[in-house]
């Protein structure tokens, strides 16, 4: 009888242990939950033998950069036009699925007096373009799912790559870009143009000079009602991607400039995120009306919060479905000051934190309000980034989202011609693009924390801050 008590306790313990082992595990394609960290972790492959980091990598100078364009839809054809305003460039080849897009760009080159570029048409025609000996850079502006296959093929054939946003659509694809770039020693730059916008680059300059004190929180977004545009994408690729993918699938415009201001993988590191989305109402309605869809994966509004190793938080939002003014937020909250781009552009500072020389006589700095317009204008002029000081006028004339697209292309070609490290490296492309699948994974698992892979494989502290190299 005395032992019955122990026997009963043992049976209960065994049952509980049984329950424990039968607990559902959270596991998916390339990721699983770790009880030690309390987070979901994606697989982080080891660096292959002989492969080296691309941090700070500079290739041999290329005096005349010979370019092949793949994807000549709305975005690609504008890029071709912008390149005709850049010195030291030859446009050698043009490729698209649609012959008319190729012919249209060839006609354009003829009209502006540029030499003829060879045309390639078809799904796999990019391969022939990449195989050419006389091309240095492949510039990719196709739909999202074809970015990585084309970029990999180009790097494998010795070409540097510039690829539209987001560079990749999954964490595994991000690793493919990193590994192929490291192995082939070819640049792979994502074409994140918002980094070069006037407010963003000025604000980065201010952040680097300590105007905001210590930055503690940042916000970015892609809030852009695409209702009128869905039908314009080739073969409906964008709506189809949103129909089948949850999460912040277009994070890089809001995220890229923030990562630069926070020195991500240049002394700071993205640690983990949590994400929550709404149900889909407008997305489903448009997909039902235009595609007969019964389900729609992408929530109408997705919010993601990220923690960095310096103890900062970042909030990102994605909403391309509901009626709202266009908004990328671009907001920095520092211990001494605050910057905000959308919906109202302005700065706020603690009294005494702005150089006196910027303040008109008698100006009062109120830490509850934006600084007055004349003070903001003085700040924008005083902290204008050296790149803008050099090429603002041409950039505004050539245009492309007000000039930032030209600044981006100009810098890419400038760095290649001078054998300098590019402003954005393959780790930026991977970190900023990975938000898509990482946020989707968190949202699918009741907003569980998801660790953000370190695509530099432990070298995130080697560089110090963002550098825009000049010769």
| Contact residues: ligand NAD, CB under 6 A | 70-76, 95-98, 101, 123, 126, 141-144, 146, 164-165, 191, 193, 233-234, 401
| Shortest distance, position 179 Cβ to ligand NAD, whole Å | 21
Instruction: Match 């019964």 to its residue by tokens.
Output: 294
Q: How far is the CB of 20 from ligand NAD (least distance, A)?
A: 46
Shortest gap between Cβ of 114 and ligand NAD (angstroms)?
Answer: 20
CB of 157 to ligand NAD, least distance (A): 15
**Least Å from the CB of residue 249 to ligand NAD:** 10
Please answer whether residues 321 and 300 qualify as being in contact, where contact means their C-beta atoms are separated by less than 8 angstroms: yes
Q: What is each CA distance from 164 to 138, 168, 216, 294, 464, in whole angstroms?
A: 11, 9, 30, 30, 26
Q: Which is nearer to ligand NAD, 41 or 224 (CB)?
A: 224
CB of 199 to ligand NAD, least distance (A): 16
The greatest distance separating any two alpha carbons of the chain, rounded to the nearest whole angstrom, comes to: 103
Q: How far is the CB of 123 from ligand NAD (least distance, A)?
A: 5
Q: Which two tokens stand for residue 68?
A: 């092949």
Output 193 or 340, the one with its CB closest to ligand NAD.
Answer: 193
Tell me the CA end-to-end span of the chain in Å, nearest whole number.
Answer: 89
CB of 74 to ligand NAD, least distance (A): 4
- What pairs with residue 217 in β-bridges? 313, 333
**CB closer to ligand NAD, 194 vs 297:** 194
**CB closer to ligand NAD, 101 vs 203:** 101
Q: What does the block give as tokens for 466?
A: 């963002």
Minimum distance, C-beta of residue 125 to ligand NAD, in the bound complex (Å): 6
CB of 253 to ligand NAD, least distance (A): 7
Residue (423 or 454) nearer to ligand NAD, CB? 423
Whether a cis peptide bond, with omega within 30° of 0, leads into 343 is yes
Nearer residue to ligand NAD within complex by CB, 222 or 414: 222
| Residue whose CB is less far from ligand NAD, 196 or 468 | 196
Asked if 285 and 300 touch (Cβ cutoff 8 Å), the reply is no
In the bound state with ligand NAD, the residue whose beta carbon lies nearer, of 96 and 277, is 96
* Calpha distance 411→329 (Å, rounded): 24
Residues 6+ apart with CB under 8 A from 319: 221, 222, 223, 224, 300, 301, 302
Those residues whose C-beta lies under 8 Å from the C-beta of residue 14, and which sit 6 or more positions away, are none
Q: What beta strand segments (E) does 46-190 contain?
A: 65-70, 89-96, 118-121, 137-140, 160-163, 188-190
Question: Whole-angstrom Cα distance, residue 356 to residue 360?
Answer: 8
Which C-beta is closer to ligand NAD: that of 75 or that of 183?
75
Give bridge partners of residue 140 from the DSSP assignment.
Answer: 70, 163
DSSP 174-219: HHHHHHHHHHHT--EEE--GGGGSHHHHHHHHHHHTTTTSSEEEEE
Q: Under a CB-based contact definition with an 8 Å cutoff, are residues 452 and 434 in contact?
A: yes
CB nearest ligand NAD: which residue? 73
Closest to ligand NAD by CB, 125 vs 216, is 125
């Amino acid at each position: 009888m005395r032992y019955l008590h122990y026997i009963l306790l043992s049976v209960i313990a065994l049952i509980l242990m049984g329950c424990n082992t039968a607990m559902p595990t959270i596991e998916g394609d390339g990721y699983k939950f770790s009880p030690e960290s309390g987070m979901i972790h994606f697989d982080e492959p080891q660096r292959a033998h002989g492969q080296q980091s691309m941090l700070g990598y500079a290739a041999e100078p290329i005096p005349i950069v010979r370019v092949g364009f793949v994807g000549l839809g709305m975005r690609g054809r504008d890029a071709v036009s912008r390149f005709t305003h850049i010195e030291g460039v030859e446009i050698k080849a043009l490729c698209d699925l649609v012959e008319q897009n190729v012919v249209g760009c060839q006609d354009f080159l003829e009209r502006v007096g540029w030499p003829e570029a060879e045309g390639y048409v078809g799904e796999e025609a990019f391969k022939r373009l990449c195989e050419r000996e006389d091309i240095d850079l492949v510039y990719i502006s196709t739909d999202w799912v074809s970015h990585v296959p084309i970029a990999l093929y180009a790097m494998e054939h010795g070409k540097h790559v510039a690829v539209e946003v987001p560079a990749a659509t999954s964490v595994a694809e991000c690793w493919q870009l990193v590994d192929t770039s490291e192995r082939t020693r070819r640049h792979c730059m994502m074409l994140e143009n918002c980094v070069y916008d006037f407010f963003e680059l000025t604000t980065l300059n201010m952040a680097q000079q300590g105007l905001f004190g210590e930055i503690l929180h940042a916000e970015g977004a892609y809030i852009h009602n695409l209702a009128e545009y869905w039908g314009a994408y080739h073969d409906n690729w964008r709506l189809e991607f949103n129909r089948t993918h949850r999460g912040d699938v277009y994070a890089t415009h809001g995220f890229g400039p923030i990562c630069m201001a926070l020195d991500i993988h240049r002394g700071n590191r993205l640690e983990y995120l949590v994400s929550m989305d709404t149900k889909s109402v407008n997305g489903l309605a448009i997909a039902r009306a235009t595609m007969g869809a019964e389900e729609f994966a992408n929530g109408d509004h997705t919010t993601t919060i990220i923690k960095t190793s310096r103890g900062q938080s970042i909030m990102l939002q994605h909403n391309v479905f509901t009626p709202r003014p266009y908004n990328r937020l671009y907001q920095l909250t520092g211990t001494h000051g605050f910057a905000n781009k959308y919906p109202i552009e302005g700065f706020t500072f603690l009294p005494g934190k702005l150089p006196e020389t910027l303040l008109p006589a008698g100006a009062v700095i109120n830490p509850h309000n934006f600084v007055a317009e004349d003070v903001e204008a003085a700040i924008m002029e005083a902290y204008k980034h050296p790149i803008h000081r050099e090429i603002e006028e041409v950039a505004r004339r050539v245009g492309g989202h007000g000039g930032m697209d030209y600044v981006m292309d100009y810098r890419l070609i400038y760095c290649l011609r001078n054998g300098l490290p590019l402003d954005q490296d393959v780790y930026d492309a991977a970190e900023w693009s990975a938000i898509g699948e990482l946020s989707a994974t968190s949202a699918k698992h009741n907003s569980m924390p998801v660790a953000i892979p370190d695509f530099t494989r432990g070298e995130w502290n080697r560089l110090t801050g963002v550098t825009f190299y000049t010769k």
